[in-house]
Structure 1
Amino acid sequence: MKIPKLLFRLCTTVENLFTTALVSMAFYITTPIGITTDTLKLPKGSITNTINHLQNSGVKLSKIDIYLLATLGQPKHGELDIGIGIINRIDFLDKLTTASEAIQIITLIPGETRPIFLEDIAKRYKLDYKRLDSYYNQFSNYKEAGIIPDTYHVPKGIKEEKIISFLVELSEKKYEKLAKKHLKRYDKKEWLKYLTIASIVQKESANSEEMPIVASVVYNRLKIDMALQMDGTLNYGKYSHTKVTPKRIKTDKSGFNTYANKGLPPYPVCSVSIDAIEAAIKPATTKYLYFMRNEDGVHDFTDSYKEHLNNINRVKRARN
């Protein structure tokens, strides 16, 4: 009868060891891990490489976690959105395999200028403005309007070179598609002219419905060699949000002063929307040479200078 007793003792011992192991493992996987940053940057490679990288980064992991992570799946790589706070070990390891890539949102609004846009990116995401500007000049075909207005999603932690190359490359693809749709070709010199006209349209129009009409005024004035005389062209570069005054018109010596110079500015004034580009390519057919913003915030158009003066005086009376 000794054998059954020994077997019983052996089974009891194994059961106790197994229970102890389960309890120990349960305790281990539920131990908290403090995360002090909402994102983790993981290298591409093996599970062991991932665990070693995290250990070197100060995350308290052990060799056991290599086996635990292997049962959960292959860890992702790149900048991952983990979330700040206390999280238990098994949930943390699971997040390494399921977390989405951490992104930041960059928005360029139509009519904004390159310097203001790049300054905002630099300030918001702690990047170097001079490097952003340098890479823009390196990658873009256009001194202004090389990035099309849109909301962009880019990985967190992206550096100056990659962010500018991404924005410019994506914009170039959209420009090429748009040019081939309307012009059957994408000639950058020709496209520069349309972008320049579109930028004036962007600055001067009250809404997208007005854009083809404003474009017609630009073309009508160019056709008769009449100065454009449009305030919006003086809102170039750092002057994007600066009110255009009579003093500014008299003192600005740049090619963007369309009161002092005939023809188009040397290059686009600002970023341009697709509506503005399409208006520049296909302007309305009109004889208009003048327009004046009225009390309702939209423009009155005319081909008569006398009527234009009447429109100006009517607005002045309404303001007094």
Structure 2
Amino acid sequence: MYYLNKPVSSPKVIYIPKGSINKIITQMQSRNYNVSKLDILLLRLFGSPQSGWINIETTLNSRWDFLYKLTTAKAALQNITLIPGETTYIFLNQLADELKLNRDLLQKEYEQQSPYEEGAFTPNTYSLPIGITEKIVIKILLNESLAQMKNLSIKLFGMYNEKKWLQYVTIASIIQKESASIEEMPLVSSVIYNRIKKGMKLQMDGTLNYGKNSHVKVTPSMIKEDTSTYNTYLYSGIPPLPVCNVSFDAIKAAIFPAKSDYLYFMKSKDAKHDFTSNYSTHLSNIKRATK
């Protein structure tokens, strides 16, 4: 009874892997939870722990309560969707709002854990436990995103080269911001590569929709005043980092651009784009669109 009443400290929400009781206790020990081999025997009396996320509600429990909750508690999950083309700044706002987390702590954890300022998340719908900490939610999202990216890279190239992959994600982020549809993505990609090949600046508005500017309408004054490296009117080539988080469709378009001689595109009245290799035709398309 003395042993069962000893306190056990842990996060409120913890993850229990699938496997034997021995494996579960061993992993908890590796995470510095105050558990021992004796708990293996006790858990066999309580029953097998449930796998997945569990919410034990408090950070300090008696050993009896802690072991009991391992076998009975479950954490409520909430679906969070990261939309392709959304920036991390906006997504962290969404996480803070929907999971009732601290926005500043999310930003701090992202900056500490992520290798990149932008583009480290994979757009998807994630089931996250309510009550999770800011540190763990960022860790989960980054780990799952990296695993998905590595799997796609290995599928396409047979390997994962971090530096090369970041370059593709950066190009894909421009494609994501500029394209009106998945079907257009390879064409937008071809314009990017064609302009770079000819030594032309990209001059694409979407590169200015970074960070807080994700949904801001790009204006002539904004183009003139923004001196960041995202401004492709000011700097040649692609930005040093992605503009946003990108879909696999955009990444595939960045890797496999359409074969074309297009150098310009302009949004038409049907929300799609008119592509052309001739500047005079491009000017006509602009006049038609503005009318």
Q: How does the TM-score come out when normalised to structure 2?
A: 0.76
Residue of structure 1 equivalent to 2:95: 121
- Distance change in 2, residues 1:100/1:206 (3 Å): same
**Compared CA separation, residues 313 and 111, structure 1 to 2 (3 A):** same
1:259 aligns with 2:228: no
Cα pair 1:80 1:102 within 8 Å, conserved: no
Q: Deviations over 1:222-274 (max 9, x none)?
A: 11110000000000001001110011011001111111111111200001000
Whose helix fraction is larger, Structure 1's or Structure 2's?
1
Q: Which residue is equivalent to 1:152?
A: 126
CA RMSD of aligned residues (A): 2.6
Give the unaligned 5+ runs of structure 2: 1-11, 17-43, 58-68
Instruction: Give the whole-Å Cα distance in 2 for the aligned partners of 1:233 and 1:254.
Output: 10
In the alignment, which of 248, 253, 269 is matched to residue 279 of structure 1? 253
Superposed, which structure 2 residues align to 1:83-102 within 5 Å? 101-102=75-76
| Pairing of 1:29-108 with structure 2 (within 5 A) | 78-79=54-55, 101-108=75-82
Match of 1:162 in 2: 136
Distance in 1 separating the partners of 2:85 and 2:137: 21
Distance 2:152 2:170 in 1: 16
Tell me whether 1:316 sits opposite 2:287 in the alignment. no
Query: Is the contact made by 1:194 and 1:277 (CA closer than 8 Å) also made in structure 2?
Result: yes
Q: Is residue 141–residue 188 contact of structure 1 (8 Å, CA) maintained in 2?
A: no
Secondary structure of the corresponding residue to residue 149 of structure 1:
coil
CA contact (8 A) 2:223 2:231 kept: yes
- SS of 1:127's equivalent in the other structure is coil
1:301 to 275, 278, 284: 275
SS at match of 1:218: helix
User: What is the alpha-carbon distance in structure 2 between the residues aligned to residue 97 and residue 248 of structure 1?
Assistant: 57
Q: C-alpha offsets along residues 4-38 of structure 1, whole Å, 9 cap, x if unaligned?
A: xxxxxxxxxxxxxxxxxxxxxxxxxxxxxxxxxxx
Partner in structure 2 of residue 288 of structure 1 = 262
Change (3 A) 1:41 1:249: closer
What does residue 234 of structure 1 align with? 208
Structure-2 change in CA distance of 1:206 and 1:189 (3 Å): same
Hey, which bits of structure 1, 4+ residues long, moved more than 6 A?
Answer: 40-44, 70-75, 95-99
Structure 1: tracts of 5 or more residues without a match = 1-39, 45-69, 82-94
Specify which of 84, 93, 109 is matched with residue 83 of structure 2.
109
Distance, in Å, in 1 between the alignment partners of 2:279 and 2:92 is: 40
Q: Which amino acid aligns with 1:173?
A: A
CA separation of 1:43 and 1:188: change in aligned 2, threshold 3 A: closer
How big is the shift at 1:187?
A: 1.2
| Partner AA of 2:193 in structure 1 | Y
Q: State the alpha-carbon separation in 2 of the partners of residues 226 and 235 from structure 1.
A: 21
For 2:208, the aligned partner's letter is L
Q: How many aligned positions are there?
A: 240
What fraction of aligned residue pairs are identical, expressed as a percent? 52
